[in-house]
Amino acid sequence: MEDALHSQGFGSRRECRALVLLGRVALGGVVVTDPDVDVVALLPACTDGKWTFEVDQRVWPYRERAVVMLNKPAGHECSLKPRHHPSVMSLLPTPLRVRGLQPIGRLDEDTTGLLLLTDDGELNHRLTSPKWHAPKVYRVTAKHAWAADAPLRLMNGVVLDDDPEPAKALAVEPIHTTVGEHAMLLTIGEGRYHQVKRMVAAVGNRVEALHRLRMGTLALDPALAPGHWRWLTPEEEAALRASVRLA
Report helix angle 234-243 to 121-128, nearest 10.
Answer: 60
**15-20: long-range contacts (C-beta < 8 A, 24 or more apart)?**
19/55
pLDDT tens-digit map of 212-224: 999 989 999 999 9
Whether residues 80 and 24 share a domain: the answer is no
Most confident of 147-161, 163-177, 218-232: 218-232
Contacts of 160 by beta carbon, 8 Å cutoff, 6+ apart? 167, 192, 195, 198, 199, 202
- pLDDT tens for 32-52 read 999 998 887 776 555 455 788
Whether 28 and 144 share a structural domain = no
Q: Distance between CA atoms of 93 and 77, rounded to whole angstroms?
A: 17
Print the domain residue range for 90: 67-130+217-243
Same domain, 90 and 199: no
Average pLDDT over residues 79-92: 89
DSSP structural state of residue 228: -
Residues 211 and 155 placed together within one structural domain of the fold: yes
DSSP assigned state of 143? S
User: What angle is formed at CA 233 by the lines to CA 231 and CA 235, rounded to 5 degrees?
Assistant: 150
Partners of 27 in beta bridges = 30
- The domain that contains 21 carries what CATH number? 3.10.290
- Phi and psi at 31, nearest 5°, equal -65, 135
Considering the domain architecture, whether residues 49 and 105 belong to the same structural domain is answered as no
Same domain, 125 and 239: yes
Say how many domains are in the chain. Answer: 3
Catalytic residues: 108
pLDDT at residue number 54: 93
Same-domain check for residues 141 and 211: yes
Q: Is the pLDDT of residue 247 over 70?
A: no
Same-domain pairing of 117 and 223: yes
Looking at the structure, tell me whether residues 72 and 57 fall in a common domain: no
- The number of residues making up the chain comes to 247
CATH of the domain at 120: 3.30.70.580
Q: From CA 118, how far away is CA 134, in angstroms rounded?
A: 16
Q: How high is the pLDDT of residue 44? A: 57
Are residue 110 and residue 232 in the same domain, yes or no? yes
**Main-chain phi, psi angles of 88, to 5 degrees:** -60, -20
Taking only the tens place, the pLDDT of each residue in 104-126 is 988 999 999 999 999 999 999 98
| Averaged pLDDT for residues 176-205 | 85
177 pLDDT tier (thresholds 50, 70, 90): low
**Pick from 28, 43, 61: which residue ends a domain?**
61
140 shares its domain with 194: yes
How confident is the model at residue 47, as a pLDDT?
Answer: 47
Minimal CA–CA distance to 190: which of 170, 213, 214? Answer: 170
One domain for residues 11 and 81:
no
